[in-house]
Structure 1
Amino acid sequence: MKKHNCETCKHRAKYDKNPNSLSGKLWRWHINFCPGWKGYMASLESEKKDEVLKKYHLN
């Protein structure tokens, strides 16, 4: 199974710290089309995936 760096991504951490920062907004925009993020989400257990979806307001 492929390891994803999304869990420890420094840009994700910046979003978590301040979602309204430019860096945070760029990260949030980026995950809409990032194949790495899609792979990361697909690799998550359903409970963890639901937490991430809720935290980042994803559908």
Structure 2
Amino acid sequence: MQSGDTADGPAELNELNRLCRYLISEKTRGPSRQLVDAIDNCVEQLTGDRTKLHPGSFSI
């Protein structure tokens, strides 16, 4: 995934958001935390803001 590929950006963000919300709702530790971190990295590449998908009350 490269920051120049913006055509699929919104669709990718929607899917990443859906996956991230699922992982957070599971409230599990370990691998899910690593996946959320990886999602944040992808979001940062797409938007320049790794916290773009975080709800206002969510902290890293």
Please report the TM-score for the alignment, with normalisation by the length of structure 2.
0.41
Q: Which structure has the higher relative contact order (CA within 8 Å, separation 6+)?
A: 2
